Amino acid sequence: MTSVDIIKAPTNDPGDTSPVETVKAAGYSTARVIAIVGKTEGNGCVNDFSRTLSAAVWEPSLPADAVTVFSGGTEGVLTPHVSFVVADDTPHPGFDRGLVAAAGRTRTFAPQEIGRRTQAREVRDTVAGLMAALELAPEDVHLVLVKCPLLTSAKVAACRAMGAEPATSDTYESMAHSRRASSIGIALALGECAEDEVEPALAGTAEVWSSRASASSGAELDDCHVLVLGTSTRAANPLRAVHASMRDAIDVETVNGLLDQVRAQDGTVVQVFAKAEADPSGTLRGQRHTMLTDSDLQSTRHARAAVGGLLAGLVQDTAIYVSGGAESQGPPGGGSLVIVYRLPQP
């Protein structure tokens, strides 16, 4: 059970490690970092080497068991930044609970396992293990963040050379398969998906999702990085979180509903974690959108830009975590939304 603080800092570019100074200025050593969660300014797709660069520059300076989660794509108004989840053992008198976190990794996946049942199960087990370590019941979990692998041309070829067939041979689509498998794993761990729903959920024929799942794919790793955030009465600190599912990309009501909860407690928003996607029907509230027919610009880029613009406006902050591709992370066309906030000193 680790009580945590969250420190956020902008970056000058994906190779910029100067935010380490912000961590230190807040009174923490990098040895206390449990996870770094960043938005980098690549395309957020298969060939996004901004994520790889960030992972390469950060990993040597963080503890070996810390995880990195870099999500590419700061379309529109979004600001590249990093958020550190750090272990906070400062006493915070006056609080009866607090935000807690733990991070871990699954094993490495063979190419043919990506986007499939095995990935879902391994994520489930890792999440379950982290929840157990934190002594968190499912209802106390606010966010499970997963960074998961994708299929490159080389992995597709390696797969076939082994006589196996990958989940897809389309590299961009493999990102969606991987996010979906991870999210189903999260839903399993949180009791939001039954075992017999796994296959239809993976096939996209059963609508299974978790409003606390946030999965993003990348070529920079072969396993899954997992971060669990929850609130626990075993900790005492001023951080809290609320979560919900945006029903679609313009669901202002849900966003304002969460923000109202924060304001009702005099809270200050620390960070927003949102998933966004193009509604797979090609329409949004019955009106046509063009995100799925734009061959110049992947739909995840469209979705991040639009939902990022909305959320940045509503919270009046552009350094928020908006990630594209919300398969099983909310209803089709919607996505999970988690707001971490800080209570005033009592």
How far is 340 from 317, CA to CA, in rounded Å? 13
Residues in the chain: 346
What residues between 284 and 303 interact with its own copies by CB under 8 A? 284-285, 287-298, 301-303
- The region of 115-123, 130-138, 151-159, 266-274 touching its own copies under the rule CB under 8 A is 151-159
The answer to whether 216 is a known catalytic residue is yes
Name the one range near its own copies by CB under 8 A: 100-108, 148-156, 187-195, 206-214.
148-156
**Total residues at the site for its own copies (CB under 8 A)?**
76
* Minimal distance, residue 161 CB to its own copies, in Å: 10
Asked if 313 is part of the footprint of its own copies (rule: CB under 8 A), the reply reads: yes
172 binds its own copies (CB under 8 A): yes
Catalytic choice (216, 217, 232, 328) = 216
Question: Quick one: which segment of 7-15, 104-112, 192-200, 227-235 binds its own copies (CB under 8 A)?
Answer: 7-15
As a three-state string, the secondary structure of 22-81 is HHHHCCCCHHHEEEEEEEECCCCCCCCHHHHHHHHHHHHHCCCCCEEEEEECCCCCCCCE
In the set 8, 39, 147, 275, the catalytic residue is 147
Q: Which stretch binds its own copies (CB under 8 A): 105-113, 120-128, 233-241, 277-285?
A: 277-285
Give the amino acid at 322. Answer: V
How far apart CA 217 and CA 222 sit, in angstroms, is 10
Nearer to its own copies, 136 or 272 (CB): 272
Q: Per-residue string for binding with its own copies, 80-119, x by CB under 8 A? A: x---------------------------------------
Is residue 300 a contact partner of residue 277, using CB atoms and an 8 Å limit?
yes
Q: What x/- string results for residues 217 through 256 when contact with its own copies is judged by CB under 8 A?
A: --xx----------------------------xxxx----
The rounded distance, in Å, linking the Cα atoms of 134 and 58 is 25
In angstroms, rounded to a whole number, what is the distance separating the alpha carbons of residues 109 and 222? 6
Q: Single out the residue of 3, 14, 68, 69 in contact with its own copies (rule: CB under 8 A).
A: 14
Closest to its own copies by CB, 59 vs 197, is 59
Residue 251 to residues 173, 310, 335, Cα–Cα distance (Å): 26, 9, 10
Residue 74 binding its own copies, by CB under 8 A: yes
CA distance 346 to 335: 33
Q: Does 268 sit near its own copies (CB under 8 A)? A: no
Structural contact between residues 329 and 123, judged by C-beta atoms closer than 8 angstroms: no
Please state the φ and ψ torsions of residue 143, each to the nearest 5 degrees.
Answer: -155, 130
Among 71, 126, 171, 217, binds its own copies (CB under 8 A): 171
Instruction: List the one residue out of 97, 51, 104, 108 whose CA is nearest residue 74.
Output: 51
47 binds its own copies (CB under 8 A): yes
Q: Is 191 in the site for its own copies (CB under 8 A)?
A: no
Q: Which amino acid belongs to residue 279?
A: D
Amino acid at 81: H
* Other beta carbons less than 10 A from residue 260's beta carbon: 10
Coil, strand or helix at 156: helix
Chosen residue from 188, 193, 305, 326 binding its own copies by CB under 8 A: 305
Closest distance of CB 116 from its own copies, Å: 19
Nearer to its own copies, 29 or 47 (CB): 47
- What amino acid positions are annotated as catalytic residues? 147, 216
